[in-house]
Structure 1
Amino acid sequence: MSNQNQTPKNGNTLGVVAPQQLSVIAQAVAGLDASQLTWVSGYLAGLAQAGGSVSAQPANQVAAAGEQKTFTILYGSQTGNAKGVAAQLHSAAEAKGITCKLVSMADYKARQIKNETHLAVVVSTHGEGEAPDDAMELHEFLASKKAPKLANTQYAVLGLGDTSYEFFCQTAKDFDQRLEKLGAKAALPRVDCDVDYETASATWIEELLSKIQDELKAESSAPVAAATSVSGADAVQTYTKKAPFAASLATVQKITGRDSVKDIQHIEISLEDSGIQYQAGDALGVWFKNDAAIVAEIIELTKTNGDDSVTVAGSELSLTEALTAKLELTLSYPGFVTAYQDIIKNDALQDIISDKAKLRTYLDDRQIIDVVREYPGQLTAEQLASALRPLTPRLYSIASSQAEVEDEVHLTIAHVDYTAFDKRHQGGASGYLCSRLEEGDTVEVYIEPNQHFRLPENPETPIIMVGPGTGIAPFRSFIQDRDAQGASGENWLFFGNPSFTQDFLYQTEWQGYKKSGLLTRLTLAFSRDQEQKIYVQHRLAEHGEEVYKWLEKGAHFYVCGDANHMAKDVEQALIDLVAKYGNKSDEEAKQYVVALRKAKRYQKDVY
């Protein structure tokens, strides 16, 4: 007969462990992280099965156990690229028999870093040299007085960025400098990758593992459980960036008025027969082709032959094919101008290149074609291809819920279309989708999951959405999703654009949701409808008291749109209203907003 429920003679109500023993256990496990606790539980379970007991170990053996080597891979990712590289490193390490952890910086306890012996950091940069949202806390911690000395840590940093921006890979540079300052030793020099990062990142992974694998392999035989901590489980996708789905363009519809200063298009793409699944908050990756007229003009201006063979990313194809579908011809960047000048040797262009500030100003309103038009020269096909960087897909926030539209995906795209230097200019992907493709044409797409921009798990949780301009896109998916799921949580939308009559995107839909009660509050900011410009951050300030009340009752706060100006202004407005209506100092208000971010109640999808 079982005696599990009987009270022992010593009066211990726990049934097995005496109070003093429990106290010792609590002290022993204090401060252990999740992976260490997992190992301890497995160790004790093994002893129980073997009927064994634990004897006291000499102090030097205990110390040795505390010096267990670790290999932790941390990633900070805004669009998913850094996460992808980190996952590749994790897989490659495991394939070599190395036990390691893969952790989003958003889920990493910053103080744990003092226990790391081997650390890999993969991080992107966005905005004006800013850390991605999930890296912000660790980024700030390492710069603070609380950061520990890291004399026993080896590290390696890989940065992902875009040389067309001034603060190229700044966050990676920050991590590298701060880790070094804290006494950590670099296993490899930092690597800064441009948008065509695949080859450089693969080389970095190989070199890093070659450098540290002997040390870590020796440790991997020790009984330490591998732990992979990735925020949210991504759905397995059949189609990827490297293997996109050939979808059909179903609808292209302008949704701004004839007199609007903006050309914003609603795009519907059919995913029929693909099996592709996506969630509200995800992005759609779109591969595009360059304008045939621009391709022909560049070939003419550089005196090349479109039929000549070139090699791009290991594949051989004609120059025309490469310029059409494999090489970037829209976004200008310093690397192209430098490489181009090295070939054509133009004194005037050299004068521009010699001054970094002058070069960036020059490139601000120019595309690749503008540089070639202004400074034509004679090149070989291979020289031209080598000067250009590989074309990369554009990511667009999805503007639909699959629960509502099933085998479709919707986008809200600002068509970049303007005149400069007496020539028409269009965006690469926006011109392709909005102007050069016809309905029924094929477009290659894939889903880019965004685990850091998700609706609350509890459908009763209220949400506040701030999305001016095309930033409205993911909130259309949010509200469709909540409608389809019958979610009871309150919903508040802040939307802004230049004019009510010309630029109220999806006006009928939003007014319908407001009338039905699904959209609890709708607050609008049309900047040009009155003498003094009004933006969403001004509306937040006007409704600050009510916004604070919503936050106090658990609301999640979302922002989508321009990173450099709008998102910063909205965050400052949020801090100000928390200080005012929460009766807090500026520092306390900032910490309140930081706490929202840590709790994943303040999420941004900015670009």
Structure 2
Amino acid sequence: MPTQVNLIPEDAPFEAGQREWLNGLISALAGWEGSLGGAEQGGGEAKESFPWHDPAMAMEERMALAEGKPYERQLMAAMAQLDCGQCGYLCKTYAEAIAFDGEAVNRCVPGAKETERKLKELVAEHEAANTGNKADEFAEAKPAPKPKKTAPLGTRDNPLMARLKSSTPLNADGSSKDTRHVVVDLGDSGVEYTAGDSMGIFPENDPRTVDAILADLDVSGGESVRVEGQDKLLRQALLKDRDVTKPSDEVIALLAEHAGDADEAEDLKMLAGRGAEEGQTLLELLRVYPSARPPLQGLVDELGPLQPRLYSIASSSKQHPAEIHTTVAVVKTAVYGRGYKGVASTFLAKRLSRHGEVPIYIQRSDEFRVNADPDHPAIMIGPGTGIAPFIAFLQEREALEHAGKNWLFFGNPESAKDHIYRDQLEVWRKTGLISRLTLAFSRDQQDKVYVQTRMLEQAREFWAWLQAGAVIYICGDASRMAKDVDAALHRIVAEQGNMSDKAAARYVAALSDHHRYLRDVY
């Protein structure tokens, strides 16, 4: 929807609602951007509308919007709406693969248990509606997954074995965070990337956790099991192929089936119905329910696949053609009385030795790109590790000698300990590459200050940049930060543009339609 422009004079003989409607109609017909130098990019072809495709929207809202839509669109609405690519598809194409090709329903990493459960529910309803509840008939008619063609090197289906070049701590001593600047060497592979892309890695589970699982199962790990049609040693399967940190409902049901203690079996049946709690791993289940010891092949079959993880690339290939830089927050917490570390972040930033090999691939972005217009102003909002793609964007604009102004919003808990990339940002500020650097350190004062707080404090300037055609880029947490930033943007537009809430919503929607409001959220 184009941005509304106000062409109907205030003194025209119309009521306020009529005047607003006419302005909206004229804007739609004219295709105006409502800016002084719109930096629109991309084609103008009409596209199918996916109103549920918003990562900030709750599952219930998304499903309501998809009610009455075709089966594959309802499947799409159940997903995390990030188009992150960790499943090997985009949300739309993953949904179509489930609907038409029989793809598995447990591949949506950010959607996690909520998405998997909803997908199972939708698939079951579809089966019942199309087979009269005759599961055998459906099983015979269900299409087999299509064989995949040989993929280019550096893609999800043909990852590159790259080498870790460095993992440098970015936080000062005493910080509550452990953030690393990780550099991966592409060598002479010829694998290419563009600023705005993400790097996917195939991690390994913590070997100490795997060994503890084997000990609790009272097995050596040298037992042979089948994984995706291949014979593998059990330890290797648990280390590289199966997710032992997020037990599936099917795994819990299997444990219940093979629990020797009646009370444990009953507890596990109830747990299978509601799903494992956050942080409740296979190891915890084996220790809490010591009588539950399933057959090894059954356990491997029911464990979900160890999915790749994506990290926003923090470098421009124009400055680093044979390297990929990224920013990794090492996840560490305590659950069930035991220290828990993130599988991928710990593997990449700490467990992988220097020059150690890691399978990586490039997850390309269709839209999250530096604008082709060298003069366009850019507003980049990226707290925490969300700053990563903007390091890449700034390197890109520097290499291309873009004249457009850059305004960076960055936030973290404490300025003394968590001002990551401080030296580089200061250099860019002094050279003028960064025109405005706005910082928000939430714990430097009694009242919490976040990037959205700073946006509202500088609302007039923010609006002036928008009117000058600025493109807004956001990277970071989808469930909290992105929602709050989006709310702040709507408020700025409404207040500074003297618009009603509905008109402000149309303006923001138009920014998105014209590729001037781009989000890389997770």
Q: Does 1:435 align with 2:350?
A: yes
Quote the Cα distance in structure 1 between the aligned partners of 2:100 and 2:51. 12
What's the CA shift for 1:132? 4.5
Partner letter of residue 427 of structure 1? G
What's the CA shift for 1:423?
2.5
Q: In the superposition, relative to structure 1, how do residues 363 and 345 fare at CA in structure 2: closer, same or farther (>3 Å)?
A: farther
3-state SS, counterpart of residue 166 of structure 1:
helix
Whose relative contact order is higher, 1 or 2, with alpha carbons under 8 Å and at least 6 apart?
A: 2
CA change 1:311–1:132 in 2 (3 A) is: same
2: CA distance, partners of 1:78 / 1:276: 31
* Residue 485 (structure 1) aligned to one of 372, 394, 400: 400
Q: What is the CA distance between 1:389 and its match in structure 2?
A: 1.0
Query: Structure 1 residues 526 and 188 mapped into 2: Cα distance closer, same or farther (>3 Å)?
Result: farther
Matched, 1:342 2:257: yes
Which of residues 323, 328, 350 is equivalent to 1:413? 328
SS in 2 for 1:560: strand
**Native 8 Å contact 2:195 2:316 kept in 1:** yes
Compared CA separation, residues 356 and 307, structure 1 to 2 (3 A): closer
In 2, Cα distance between equivalents of 1:410 and 1:353: 45
In structure 2, do the counterparts of structure 1 residues 599 and 133 end up closer, same or farther at CA, with 3 Å as the change threshold?
farther
SS in 2 for 1:404: coil
| Match of residue 458 from structure 2 | 543
Match of 1:197 in 2: none
**Distance in 2 between residues matched to 1:133 and 1:306, nearest whole Å:** 37
The alignment's TM-score, normalised by the length of structure 2, stands at: 0.74
Report the residue type matching 2:473 in the other structure: Y
User: Which of 340, 352, 369 is matched with 2:283 structurally?
Assistant: 369
Q: CA deviation at 1:403?
A: 0.7
Say whether the 8 Å CA contact 2:192–2:321 is kept in structure 1.
no
* Counterparts of 1:345 and 1:601, CA distance in 2: 60
Q: What is the alpha-carbon distance in structure 1 between the residues aligned to residue 117 and residue 516 of structure 2?
A: 27
Is structure 2 residue 490 aligned with structure 1 residue 575?
Answer: yes
2:144 pairs with 1:203: yes
CA drift at 1:380 = 2.3
C-alpha separation in 1, matches of 2:332 and 2:83:
31
Q: Provide the C-alpha distance between the structure 2 equivalents of 1:527 and 1:239, rounded to a whole number of angstroms.
A: 39
Structure 2 Cα separation of the partners of residues 119 and 174 of structure 1? 8
- Note closer, same or farther for the CA distance 1:519–1:201 as it changes in structure 2 (3 Å cut): farther
1:78 is displaced (CA, Å) by 9.4
Q: 1:515 aligns with which of 411, 430, 452?
A: 430
8 Å CA contact 1:125–1:171 kept in 2: the answer is: no
2:308 maps to a residue whose letter is P
CA–CA distance in structure 1, aligned partners of residues 476 and 242 of structure 2? 27
Distance 1:404 1:553 in 2: 29
Q: CA deviation at 1:156?
A: 6.7
Distance in 2 between residues matched to 1:290 and 1:298, nearest whole Å: 12
- Please tell me whether the aligned partners of residues 254 and 299 of structure 2 are also in contact (alpha carbons under 8 angstroms): no
- TM-score by length of structure 1 reads 0.64
Residue equivalent to 2:201: 286
Whole-angstrom CA distance in 2 between matches of 1:553 and 1:289: 47
Judging changes above 3 Å, is the alpha-carbon distance between structure 1 residues 321 and 566 closer, same or farther for their aligned structure 2 residues?
Answer: same
The gaps in structure 1 that reach 5 residues or longer are: 1-71, 80-115, 140-154, 181-185, 190-199, 207-235
- Looking at CA atoms only, which structure, 1 or 2, has the larger radius of gyration? 1
How many residues align structurally?
432
Aligned pairs (5 A) from 1:515-534: 515-534=430-449
Give the alignment partner of residue 423 of structure 1, picking from 332, 338, 341: 338
The letter of the residue matching 1:508 is D
In structure 2, the partner of 1:166 is 114
Corresponding residue of 1:475: 390
Superposed, 1:27-426 pairs within 5 Å as 121=73, 124=76, 131-132=81-82, 161-162=108-109, 164-168=112-116, 203=144, 237-344=152-259, 347-348=263-264, 350-351=266-267, 353-354=269-270, 359=274, 363-376=277-290, 377-426=292-341
Q: 1:436 and 1:132 mapped to 2: Cα distance?
A: 28
Change (3 A) 1:187 1:297: same
Pick aligned residue for 2:514 from 575, 596, 599 = 599
Q: Distance in 1 between matches of 2:81 and 2:240?
A: 31
| Residue type at the aligned position of 1:166 | E
Structure 2 unmatched ranges of 5 or more: 1-47, 56-68, 85-90, 92-98, 133-140
Between stretches 368-377 and 436-445, larger displacement belongs to: 368-377
